[in-house]
Amino acid sequence: MGSKYILLILVSIASIFHSREQTKSITLRLERIDPKTSHLQHATENVACDKVAIIVMDMWDKHWCKSWTARGAAMIPKMNAALAAARKSGIQVIFSPSAVADFYKDYPQRKAVLAMPATGEFIFPSVDELKNMGTKERAEYTKNKKSYFEGSIYEARNIAGQAYAGYPPLPPFESTGGCECKKRDCKMENVWTRQNKDLVIEASDLIVEGNNRPELVNICKARGYTHLLYMGGAGNMCLTSSRETSTINMANRGLKCIYIEDIMISISGNGYNPDTKKTDPSFTPEKGDKMVLEHLKKYIAPSIKSNELFTF
Ligand SMILES: [Zn+2]
């Protein structure tokens, strides 16, 4: 056997060890807030990287609000760096660009999702749908399911009752309308066509339609993902409740959902207090992000910080 072949064998063995290395586990340093005491709680959880997927929510090229578009774009460099580190660790990257997934219809990353076998699972209504349901319809769900949130992670939160009684409003309130500009003069219209073009999509990634409920759950079943880490926007809408791929809906299916708190933004209304319907200059988007995050950590799911997860 020539030395060339021995080298080849050694390289092959090395790559086997390398791929084993890639399926190593990752430590999640979870932060939650005790809903009763408001004290910060810490916990760690080790998970195999091949059980983890990152969901990138609604990183549209354009939003009808100029300031929101800019806030989203400002996250991209950090997002790309974190996603690159995640891929290297063997964590799956899944983009969830609601309403614009069609832009990617010819991408292999989109076709791969559509080719996944359907699980035929019970389809939960989204929290928004639930809010708009009549009493009779809600009762049907209660009858059919012991608990709407049965099987969701972090049952300690036990938000099922609250969801039925009226989901606790997410601060600083969706009713601010979504314009983040000081003048609040942007006009609502559908201007999004795709994801921000600077957001890097790699061959191994997947693209789901955020409003096509079964896709993400199909992927999780087919690939065995148990933990979903969320980044993008908005913390008080799409990330949490208004998309089928959002944390609450996926937690309903038994997925462990976790926010990456330093790579997400929330709608704040920038300087507009919806309670008083008056302008409050101290109410900045940063303040809004903080308020929403506290609420999410208290009532919805824990968070992690990207620099505690990856080196990048
Ligand atoms: Zn605006």
Q: What is the CA radius of gyration of the chain?
A: 21
Greatest CA separation found in the chain?
82
Using the mean position of ligand 1's atoms as its centre, give its distance from the Cα of residue 116 in Å: 38
- Distance from residue 192's CA to the centre of ligand 1 (Å): 14
CATH of 25-309, picked from 3.30.230.10, 2.60.40.10, 3.40.50.720, 3.40.50.850, is 3.40.50.850
Residue 285 predicted with pLDDT over 70:
yes
Q: Where on the phi/psi map is residue 119: left (φ > 0), alpha (ψ -120 to 50), or beta?
A: alpha
State mean pLDDT over 281-295: 85
In whole angstroms, what is the distance from residue 228 CA to residue 245 CA? Answer: 10
Q: How far is the CA of 186 from the centre of ligand 1 (A)?
A: 4
Model pTM score: 0.81
Task: Give, as residue ranges, everything with CB less than 5 Å from ion ligand 1.
Answer: 65, 67, 179, 181, 186
pLDDT band at 54; cut points 50, 70, 90 = very high
Domain boundaries, the chain: 25-309
Distance 158 CA to ligand 1 centre (A): 36
How far away, in angstroms, is 60 Cα from ligand 1 center?
15
CA distances from 10 to 2, 3, 102 (A): 13, 10, 45
Ligand 1 centre from 67 Cα, in Å?
Answer: 5
Q: How confident is the model at residue 169 (pLDDT cuts 50, 70, 90)?
A: low
Highest-confidence segment of 111-120, 201-210, 243-252: 201-210
The beta strand positions in the chain, using DSSP E, are: 25-33, 40-48, 52-57, 92-96, 206-207, 227-233, 256-265, 272-273, 278-279, 303-304
Instruction: Please give the distance, rounded to the nearest whole angstrom, from the Cα atom of residue 290 to the centre of ligand 1.
Output: 20
CA dihedral 124, 126, 132, 137 (to 10 degrees): 0
Chain segment 80-114, per-residue pLDDT in tens: 999 999 999 999 999 999 889 999 999 999 999 99
